[in-house]
């Protein structure tokens, strides 16, 4: 059972009592996103040279002053220099849900700029550790052909097993969990509305098995709401998913000022000096 290293230090670093303004915490997969998932990913994309576009749609009434204008929907889109990959912050734009949590980031790639459709997509809710999403994006940006698979699915499980996760007894080639049985990684049928170029994603009947893709989630307690969830469509390259999985399961501590309420008692933490 994990316990705080310093239980007397307030969980909210802004609270006085001589506590530090930030903590080094672990395990990473339960540490949340520090309340800054957008900023962390936007900074990564800016560093990679991606272009940021903001599309605002609203309602403008006659004789209405600019400050009274109603914004109905707002989309922030980041596009790579070659326009083969993009990331959309969809939390403010009527997102659909994953594990009963609203999608925050959708990341997609295509094989050619002439294609209007994504070859594959990946989805992340709030509280997915920003470090894992950032490393996924850096690996995606480094690829010459972002839609071409370079490895098999075993690479994904190998990445988490190397950090102490356990393969599922019933599905050792398709699922794994962390040592506390809180976070999970599974190769299974993708949820509805996940965009992918695989035609089965659109043509599968209700009684047929659909395409499979990697799914990850954290469930702090049995039957409790998920802390976060991530979904990769069927055509998402396994090596990119493995990069995400390796970062997610990393034993290296991460810097946090805000700890998730659902997992704060499970986190090891030490004040950042």
Contacting residues for 145 by C-beta, under 8 A, at least 6 apart: 111
Given 3-state DSSP classes, what are the helix, strand and coil percentages for the chain, each rounded to the nearest 5? Answer: 20, 30, 50
Please report, in angstroms and rounded to a whole number, the separation of the first and last CA atoms in the chain. 26
Distances in whole angstroms, Cα of residue 153 to Cα of each of 17, 118, 163, 172, 265: 48, 21, 17, 12, 33
The Cα 126–Cα 193 span in angstroms is: 18
Confidence (pLDDT) at 5:
35
Q: How many helices (H) and strands (E) does the chain have?
A: 5, 14
pTM of the model: 0.84
Confidence (pLDDT) at 203:
53
Contact 102, 179 (CB under 8 A): no
Confidence (pLDDT) at 82:
97
The Cα 83–Cα 112 span in angstroms is: 9
Confidence (pLDDT) at 75:
74
Contact 170, 160 (CB under 8 A): no
For the chain, what are the domain ranges? 23-56+73-271
Confidence (pLDDT) at 18:
43
Contact 89, 123 (CB under 8 A): no
Confidence (pLDDT) at 228:
98
Contact 259, 31 (CB under 8 A): yes
Complete edge-to-edge strand list for the sheet that includes strand 254-256: 254-256, 23-26, 268-271
Confidence (pLDDT) at 249:
98
The three-state secondary structure class of 150 is coil
Confidence (pLDDT) at 54:
86
Per-10-residue mean pLDDT of the chain, 273 residues long, equals 37 40 94 96 98 75 61 77 95 77 95 92 97 98 93 96 97 96 95 70 57 95 93 96 98 96 94 84
Tokens of 169: 């007894």
């Amino acid at each position: 059972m994990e316990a705080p290293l310093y239980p007397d230090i307030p969980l909210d670093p802004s609270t006085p009592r001589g506590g530090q303004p930030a903590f080094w915490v672990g395990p990473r997969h339960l540490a949340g996103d520090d309340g800054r998932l957008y900023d962390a990913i936007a900074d990564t994309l800016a560093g990679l040279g991606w272009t940021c576009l903001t599309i605002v749609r609203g309602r403008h009434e006659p004789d209405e002053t600019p400050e009274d204008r109603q914004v109905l929907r707002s989309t922030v889109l980041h596009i790579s220099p070659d326009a083969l990959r993009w990331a959309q912050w969809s939390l403010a734009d009527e997102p659909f849900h994953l594990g009963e949590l609203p999608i925050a980031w959708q990341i997609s790639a295509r094989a050619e700029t002439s294609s209007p459709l994504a070859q594959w997509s990946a989805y992340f809710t709030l509280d997915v550790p920003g470090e894992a999403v950032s490393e996924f994006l850096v690996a995606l940006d480094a690829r010459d052909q972002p839609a071409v698979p370079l490895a098999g699915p075993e690479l994904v499980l190998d990445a988490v097993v190397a950090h102490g996760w356990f393969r599922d007894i019933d599905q050792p080639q398709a699922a794994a969990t962390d040592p506390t049985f809180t976070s999970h990684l599974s190769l299974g049928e993708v949820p509805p509305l996940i965009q992918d170029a695989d035609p089965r994603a659109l043509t599968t009947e209700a009684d047929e098995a659909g395409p499979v893709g990697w799914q990850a989630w954290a469930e702090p307690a049995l039957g409790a709401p998920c802390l976060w969830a991530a979904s990769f469509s069927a055509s998402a390259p396994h090596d990119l998913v493995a990069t995400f999985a390796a970062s997610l399961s990393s034993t290296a501590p991460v810097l946090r000022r805000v700890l998730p309420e659902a997992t704060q008692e499970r986190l090891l933490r030490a004040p950042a000096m």
